[in-house]
Amino acid sequence: MTTAVRAIRTNKEEAPMATSVSLQKVIKRYGELEVVHGIDLEIEPGEFAVFVGPSGCGKSTLLRMIAGLEPISGGALYLDGSRMNDVPASKRGIAMVFQSYALYPHMSVYKNLAFGLETAGMKKQEIQPRVEKAAEILQIKQLLQRKPKQLSGGQRQRVAIGRAIVREPKIFLFDEPLSNLDAELRVQMRVEIARLHQRLGNTMIYVTHDQTEAMTMADKIVVLNGGNIEQVGAPLDLYNKPRNKFVAGFIGSPK
What is the DSSP secondary-structure string of 197-219?
HHHH--EEEEE-S-HHHHHHH-S
Partner from ligand ADP, Mg ion, none binding residue 55, C-beta < 5-8 Å depending on class: ligand ADP
Judged by CB under 6 A, the stretch of 51-59, 98-106, 115-123, 229-237 that binds ligand ADP is: 51-59
- Contacts of ligand ADP in 158-217 (CB under 6 A): none
User: Of these, 3, 10, 11, 55, which contacts ligand ADP (CB under 6 A)?
Assistant: 55
Judged by CB under 6 A, the stretch of 40-48, 54-62, 162-170, 197-205 that binds ligand ADP is: 54-62
Angle among Cα 102, 104, 106 to the nearest 5 degrees reads 145
Q: Are 19 and 13 in contact (CB under 8 A)?
A: no
Spell out, one character per residue from 9 to 38, where the chain touches ligand ADP: x when CB under 6 A holds, - when not: ---------------------x----x---
Task: Decide whether 110 or 206 has the Cβ nearer to ligand ADP.
Answer: 206
Rounded to a whole number of angstroms, the minimum distance from the CB of residue 60 to ligand ADP is 3
Task: Decide whether 59 or 156 has the Cβ nearer to ligand ADP.
Answer: 59
Q: Is 60 in the site for ligand ADP (CB under 6 A)?
A: yes
Task: Decide whether 57 or 117 has the Cβ nearer to ligand ADP.
Answer: 57
Task: Decide whether 60 or 157 has the Cβ nearer to Mg ion.
Answer: 60
Rounded to a whole number of angstroms, the minimum distance from the CB of residue 121 to ligand ADP is 31
Q: Is 57 in the site for ligand ADP (CB under 6 A)?
A: yes
Rounded to a whole number of angstroms, the minimum distance from the CB of residue 209 to ligand ADP is 8
Q: How far apart are CA 253 and CA 76, in angstroms?
A: 33
User: Which ranges of the chain would DSSP assign to H, the alpha helix?
Assistant: 3-9, 59-67, 109-119, 124-137, 153-165, 183-200, 211-217, 235-240, 245-251
Identity of the residue numbered 232: V
Task: Decide whether 96 or 144 has the Cβ nearer to Mg ion.
Answer: 96
Q: How far apart are CA 22 and CA 235, in angstroms?
A: 20
Q: Is 59 in the site for ligand ADP (CB under 6 A)?
A: yes
Size of the site for ligand ADP (CB under 6 A): 10
List of residues 6+ apart from 21 with CB closer than 8 A: 41, 42, 43, 49, 66, 77, 78, 79, 171, 203, 205
SS3 229: strand
Q: What is the CA radius of gyration of the chain?
A: 19
> How buried is 183 (Cβ within 10 angstroms: 0-12 exposed, 13-18 middle, 19+ buried)?
exposed
Q: Is 60 in the site for Mg ion (CB under 5 A)?
A: yes
Q: Is 61 in the site for ligand ADP (CB under 6 A)?
A: yes
Q: In the complex, which residues of this chain contact ligand ADP (CB under 6 A)? A: 30, 35, 53, 55-61
Q: In the complex, which residues of this chain contact Mg ion (CB under 5 A)? A: 60
